[in-house]
């Protein structure tokens, strides 16, 4: 009998607990239903903001090519390898690490010459009017065989990109490449290795600009800003890199040429944002 009373008491508490849980579930469901069909926010204004930040670059990047032409691919490759190895060894003496030197392309292609055959002339259907002053007949047709495309050799070209971390040595690197008679030097660019701070600075200025515009617009419209409903950023705040291009023809450099002065200036990071506010 005592065991039955214990069982009945336990069952009573179980029923109470189950009832409480059921009520909680019902209340939650009713709250969820209350949001169904709710009218979306329509009273909004959107404003844009622009921000810019500047920072001196700390890395320079330049590209150069080594190009040689010979009768055979092997000979052209040998010449390119010899010069390329010499250039790479010299760059390392300027403090450039292996990790900052990268081959971007290696190309082999034939070089063609076009030969023309000797044209043949002949008399075809000579008429009495086709004669010269001496009475000799002149040719009335010229036969020229088509030109022939003949391989005269092969060109091998290796392009290399160099990252200069000691940015104040950029001029020395450029002068050295010219002295080594590389085929060309191009794409000198200046960048910031870690642009996180300057990008965040530009974004912060853009947000401040947008908020100021929103506050002014709200006063002019006679409304109140409630909360931000959306935010977007265009362009990702990526820095704008400034580049200088140089072309140094093979065989035109002078070992005594002065080292060029390379002003690096500042890099600009910009950000454009759009903020949408709910208004009342």
CATH number at residue 143: 3.30.70.2970
Is residue 9 in some structural domain? no
pTM of the model: 0.62
Q: Is residue 182 within 8 Å of 160, Cβ to Cβ?
A: no
* Coil vs helix vs strand at 229: strand
For the chain, the average pLDDT equals: 80
Reported as a single tens digit per residue, the pLDDT across 215-229 is: 999 999 999 999 999
How many distinct structural domains can be found in the chain? 1
* Coil vs helix vs strand at 257: coil
pLDDT band per the 50, 70, 90 thresholds, residue 241 = very low
Is residue 166 in some structural domain? yes
Is residue 11 in some structural domain? no
pLDDT of residue 13: 62
Is residue 8 in some structural domain? no
pLDDT of residue 160: 97
pLDDT band per the 50, 70, 90 thresholds, residue 141 = low
pLDDT band per the 50, 70, 90 thresholds, residue 2 = low
Is residue 41 in some structural domain? no
> How far is 159 from 105, CA to CA, in rounded Å?
5
Judged against a pLDDT cut of 60, whether residue 196 lies above it is answered with yes
Is residue 4 in some structural domain? no
* Coil vs helix vs strand at 57: coil
> How far is 194 from 166, CA to CA, in rounded Å?
15
> How far is 227 from 207, CA to CA, in rounded Å?
15
Is residue 43 in some structural domain? no
Q: What is the dihedral of CA 206, 208, 209, 215, to 10 degrees?
A: 150
Judged against a pLDDT cut of 90, whether residue 77 lies above it is answered with yes
Judged against a pLDDT cut of 50, whether residue 178 lies above it is answered with yes
Of 137-141, 206-210, 263-267, the range with the lowest mean pLDDT is 137-141
Q: How far from 46 is each of 40, 210, 234, CA to CA, in Å?
A: 16, 9, 14
Reported as a single tens digit per residue, the pLDDT across 46-64 is: 999 999 999 999 999 999 9
pLDDT band per the 50, 70, 90 thresholds, residue 40 = low
Of 75-84, 205-214, 263-272, the range with the lowest mean pLDDT is 263-272
Beta bridge partners of 184: 65
pLDDT of residue 154: 96
- Domain of 153, in residue numbers: 51-125+135-279
Q: How far from 278 is each of 228, 230, 238, CA to CA, in Å?
A: 6, 9, 29
Q: Percentage of residues in the chain with pLDDT exceeding 70?
A: 66
Is residue 275 in some structural domain? yes
């Amino acid at each position: 009998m005592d065991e039955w009373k214990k069982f009945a008491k336990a069952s009573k508490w179980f029923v109470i607990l189950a009832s409480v849980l059921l009520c909680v579930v019902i209340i939650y469901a009713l709250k969820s239903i209350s949001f169904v069909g709710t009218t979306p926010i329509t009273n909004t204004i959107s404003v844009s903001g622009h921000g810019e930040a500047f920072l001196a670059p700390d890395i320079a990047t330049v590209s150069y090519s080594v190009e040689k032409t010979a009768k055979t691919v092997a000979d052209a490759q040998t010449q390119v390898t010899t010069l390329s190895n010499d250039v790479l060894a010299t760059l390392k003496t300027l403090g450039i690490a292996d990790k900052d030197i990268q081959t971007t392309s290696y190309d082999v292609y034939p070089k063609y010459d076009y030969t023309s055959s000797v044209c043949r002339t002949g008399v075809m259907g000579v008429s009495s009017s086709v004669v010269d002053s001496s009475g000799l007949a002149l040719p009335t047709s010229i036969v020229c065989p088509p030109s022939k495309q003949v391989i005269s050799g092969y060109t091998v070209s290796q392009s290399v990109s160099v990252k200069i971390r000691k940015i104040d040595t950029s001029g020395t690197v450029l002068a050295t490449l010219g002295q080594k008679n590389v085929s060309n030097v191009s794409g000198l660019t200046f960048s910031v290795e870690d642009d996180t701070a300057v990008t965040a600075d530009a974004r912060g200025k853009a947000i401040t600009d947008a908020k100021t515009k929103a506050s002014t617009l709200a006063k002019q419209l006679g409304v109140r800003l409630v909360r931000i409903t959306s935010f977007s950023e265009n362009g990702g705040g990526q820095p704008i890199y400034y580049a200088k291009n140089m072309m140094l023809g093979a065989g035109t450099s002078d070992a005594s040429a002065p080292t060029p002065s390379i002003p690096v200036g500042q890099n600009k990071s910009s950000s454009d944002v759009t903020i949408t506010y709910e208004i009342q």
